[in-house]
Structure 1
Amino acid sequence: MEENFGSWIGIFIIALIVIIVLSIFLRFVPVGLWITAYFSGVRVSIGTLIGMRLRRVAPHDIIRPLIKATKAGLELKIDELEAHYLAGGNINTVIDALIAAQRANIDLEFTQAAAIDLAGRNVFEAVQVSVNPKVIETPNISAVAQDGIEIIAKAKVTVRANIERLVGGAGEDTIIARVGEGIVTTVGSAGNHKAVLENPDLISRTVLDKGLDSGTAFEILSIDIADVDVGRNIGAKLQTEQAEADKNIAQAKAEERRSMAIAEEQEMHAETQRMRARVVEAEADVPLAMAEALRAGNLGVMDYYKMQNVHADTDMRKSISDQADNESDA
């Protein structure tokens, strides 16, 4: 009994080891994927799948898109797909784009599609837009005609992807910016805003003739003005602001002249006060000088009285003159 029990234990351990080894093998070597590929018409060896594992490439991410491409009639190499995968590309998107391009009779090679994908663009969406053009709607664009009236316009731009210029070509933002610039230029060159309102297609024709899709990843098919509105009277507003600015400048200059006049008046008043102070100071020295002259005998008593009479006569004449001036002013 003990020998039979020991043998059963040994068999169980061996079976367990075999199962573990087989699980590890099946996990490392995708036999199921190889079988699927084989019956799908994709010839790939087990060694190639093992090599993908060693290169840290997920075999499912390579083989399944390859199966899809093979079923669609595309002839692709595993090395090309693996290289694109290692470069950080999206293989599924590239394969979908190639299939869509083949169905639409668009000449698109794998290398070109891979380059577009690595450039950061959605190559499958680009093929769809090339087949089915899309509409880009611009925001409200304000422009001012020569008569000073603001025109607010919105345009719808129908574009088709240009596969050959997807790598290095400008995107939708550039299209919107160029169309906006064309609208502003066209409205600005109009002599009257009514002409723009009467013929909005004038904007479309003028903008479309400028070749705005040059250097972009799109081909502009049409530019349609979706809405045109009248905005503010910019000319009148500017004139009002200019008049207000001129008034403020004039007021500032007048205030400057007033301040200068006040300063000059104050300076003149200060100078007058200084002159009066000097006169008072000089008048205070007169009695001292006269007393000194009397003591020295240079001035007689009669001369002093004559001088006093002259002063009195001068003061009387000045008083009479002031009184006459006041009566004449009244």
Structure 2
Amino acid sequence: MNLLTLIGIGVVVLLFIYLFFYLIPVSLWITAIFSKVKVSLGSMIGMRFRRVPPRVVVESLITATKAGLHMTTNDLETHYLAGGNVPNVIRALISADKANINLTFKQATAIDLAGRDVFEAVQISVNPKVINTPNVAAVAGDGIQLVAKARVTVRANIERLVGGAGEDTILARVGEGIVTSIGSAGTHKEVLENPDKISRLVLQRGLDAGTAFEILSIDIADVDVGANIGAKLSIDQANADLKVAEAKAEERRAMAVATEQEMKARSQEMRAKVIEAEAEVPKAMAEAFRSGNMGVLDYYKMENIQADTGMRESISKGGEKGNKK
């Protein structure tokens, strides 16, 4: 046998050894045996072909068995193939068992597949979490704005983690409750004197309904006095009313000017008609003389009447001036 043949045989042997130990994790199998966990070599080889890391499944099964939990490799493989985090589920089940929290493997896997951190949820169930709300601005009955900030202590509700609303919903509901509580106060001084009144009113509303949390307490951390919203609104309303009044006054003035111009136009039209009618009088009198319907005596009589009428008008005007003096 030449050198190249020996090298080829050596490469084949090394490749065989690598494939053997890759497909059959002997060290992991031995660890399982000493941990009193029954996992066959055939099961591990099947995990390789199913693209499931044997170490993840076997080590998680060893951890669960040592903690007194009972489950099979098939359960862990199914959860891994579904896209779950197997080690995180095992840690959550162990923590729940130690804290006497009723959490089954089915519930844990459902919470994990729902996209929530099941281990963190168990921790929040044991150690409640404090959520700080952003600044919430509201206006009291006297128009003074108050800016409040609260601390909400919540505990995870394992039974409602799947399908329950999250922290954003809690914050939104608490903010709405704070606004309602401040708005129902007669004056801002009532709120400043008794800020715990806001907490009581908000807690009575049952804001944790339909959420993945249980609200334990709501504590008002800070209340600051803001702007006088009522005064600003009154000023804005007064300015608006002033502009409306000015617009109406301008409208009335424009209507008065238009009416005056219309009256002048009518007066000029009437005067033109009078002048036109007076121009027709001499023509009518001439026609009456020609037709014999009017004589000289009639003409003089009409002149006397007009002169008498003019004299009376001048006398009456003189009398009015004397009375005015």
Q: With the length of structure 2 as denominator, give the TM-score of the two structures.
A: 0.84
Counterparts of 1:117 and 1:241 in 2: how far apart (Å)? 54
The one of 39, 47, 64 equivalent to 2:42 is: 47
Q: Tell me how far 1:304 sits from its aligned partner.
A: 4.9
The amino acid of 1:273's aligned partner reads Q
Query: Which is further off, 300-309 or 183-192?
Result: 300-309
**Superposition pairs for residues 18-37 of structure 1, below 5 Å?**
18-37=13-32
Q: Measured at CA, do residues 275 and 12 of structure 1 come closer, stay the same or move farther in structure 2, by a change above 3 Å?
A: same
Q: Tell me how far 1:35 sits from its aligned partner.
A: 4.2
Counterparts of 1:64 and 1:329 in 2: how far apart (Å)? 123
Matched with 1:140 is 135
Q: Deviations over 1:128-174 (max 9, x none)?
A: 11111111111222233333332222111112212222122222222
The one of 58, 63, 73 equivalent to 1:78 is: 73
Matched with 2:162 is 167
8 Å CA contact 2:160, 2:212 repeated in 1: yes
Residue-pair matches, total: 325
Counterparts of 1:327 and 1:29 in 2: how far apart (Å)? 139
The one of 195, 199, 224 equivalent to 1:200 is: 195
Counterparts of 2:62 and 2:314 in 1: how far apart (Å)? 129
Counterparts of 1:57 and 1:278 in 2: how far apart (Å)? 113
The amino acid of 1:147's aligned partner reads D
**Superposition pairs for residues 182-261 of structure 1, below 5 Å?**
182-261=177-256
Q: Tell me how far 1:112 sits from its aligned partner.
A: 0.9
Q: Measured at CA, do residues 196 and 9 of structure 1 come closer, stay the same or move farther in structure 2, by a change above 3 Å?
A: closer
The one of 48, 56, 62 equivalent to 2:57 is: 62
The percentage of aligned residue pairs carrying the same residue is: 65
SS of 1:155's equivalent? strand
The one of 115, 118, 137 equivalent to 2:110 is: 115
Q: Deviations over 1:20-58 (max 9, x none)?
A: 344345445544544444444432223223323333333
Q: Tell me how far 1:125 sits from its aligned partner.
A: 0.8
Unaligned runs of 5+ in 2: none
Q: Measured at CA, do residues 35 and 294 of structure 1 come closer, stay the same or move farther in structure 2, by a change above 3 Å?
A: farther
Q: Deviations over 1:220-277 (max 9, x none)?
A: 2222111122223333333333333333333333333223222222222222222223
Q: Measured at CA, do residues 289 and 104 of structure 1 come closer, stay the same or move farther in structure 2, by a change above 3 Å?
A: same
Over aligned residue pairs, what C-alpha RMSD do you find? Answer: 3.1
SS of 1:74's equivalent? coil
Unaligned runs of 5+ in 1: none
SS of 1:107's equivalent? coil
SS of 1:177's equivalent? helix
SS of 2:214's equivalent? strand
Counterparts of 2:94 and 2:154 in 1: how far apart (Å)? 22
Q: Deviations over 1:293-327 (max 9, x none)?
A: 44444444565566566666666766776787678
Matched with 1:153 is 148
Q: Tell me how far 1:127 sits from its aligned partner.
A: 0.9
